[in-house]
Each structure stands twice: as C-alpha cells, then as structure tokens.
Amino acid sequence: MARVRYFAAAEEAVGTPEEQRTESTLGDLRAALVDEHPALGGILPRCAVLVDGRRTDDDIALTDASLVDVLPPFAGG
C-alpha cells in the first residue's frame, strides 16, 4: 500500500495527516481521494502531488513502497 501524506489545507479536507492507500496508479488515487473526501475536490487540482519526491504523470504505478505527498499551494513571502 502506498503511504499518502497530506499537508495544510489538504490535511484539513481529509481529516488526517496520512493514510495507507491501495490504488495502483496515481490517477486512480486522485479519483478515489476526491470520491471519498469531497472537500478535497476543490483543492486537489491546485496541489503539487509528488510520488517519491517527484512530480509525475497520473499513469505512474504506485507500489507498497511509494510515498505520495499532497502539497497545496502555500501562501507566504
């Protein structure tokens, strides 16, 4: 299972800082997250989603060792 970590507004929308997921691709993961956490639907398209520290396409396969970070845009200067 892939480990998914949520930060800032994404964490608030999901209600937990991290969880284990069984989806096989990043695209499947994105769809499942929005389905299960509707509040994430407005945030996720603006988030940087990193798999093992890198941005990638939705068709990348996720493994038991995958680490997915969901990082909303941060305000600051």
| pLDDT score of 74 | 78
Show me where the domains of the chain are located.
2-67
Least Cα distance to 3 among 39, 35, 50, 56 occurs for 50
pLDDT per position as a tens digit, 59-70: 999 999 999 999
- 76 pLDDT exceeds 60? no
Is the pTM here over 0.85, yes or no? yes
Multiple choice CATH, 2-67, 1.20.210.10, 3.10.20.30, 3.40.50.1370, 3.40.228.10: 3.10.20.30
- List all residues 6 or more positions away from 39 whose beta carbon is below 8 Å from its beta carbon: 12, 13, 14
- 75 pLDDT exceeds 80? no
In degrees and rounded to multiples of 5, residue 60 shows phi and psi of: -65, 140
pLDDT per position as a tens digit, 28-40: 999 999 999 999 9
pLDDT per position as a tens digit, 4-15: 999 999 999 999
Q: What percent of the chain has pLDDT over 70?
A: 96
Task: With beta carbons less than 8 A apart as the criterion, state whether 42 and 50 touch.
Answer: no
Task: With beta carbons less than 8 A apart as the criterion, state whether 6 and 17 touch.
Answer: yes
